[in-house]
Amino acid sequence: MAEVKRTESFGEHLRGLREYSKLTLKSVSGQIGVDISLLAKIERNERQPSKQVIKEVANFFQVNEKDLLDKFLSDQIAHKILNENGDLGILKVAEEKIIYLKTVNNGK
């Protein structure tokens, strides 16, 4: 199996899965029903995958869908902070807010 790199982007990961399987974009795009050009752009992080695409890709490559979604989410967060020039400390604050909101909205 391809090695797991934590800093790898969603697109890189997806491309890795496909190349490891020795499949072409055409083949994968055909089987999961996603436009070939769109899929190529997702692999290059030029377009975002929809939830539907993430699900189909996970099924197709037999990987955990939640893990894939989380990988995509961490990409989005990293890029948001990078292009807003946000401080790294934001992440700790965000974590506290999440924990706080989870307990406050407990039940709801």
Residues that bind a copy of itself (CB under 8 A): 6-7, 9, 66, 69-71, 73-78, 80-82, 84, 86-91, 93-102
Interface with DNA (CB under 7 A): 24-27, 34-38, 40-41, 43-44, 46-48, 50, 52-53
- String of DSSP letters for 63-104: --HHHHHHHHHHHHHHHHHHHTT--THHHHHHHHHHHHHHHH
Burial of 58 (0-12, 13-18, 19+ CB in 10 A): middle
81 binding partner (options a copy of itself, DNA, none; Cβ < 5 to 8 Å by kind): a copy of itself
30 binding partner (options a copy of itself, DNA, none; Cβ < 5 to 8 Å by kind): none
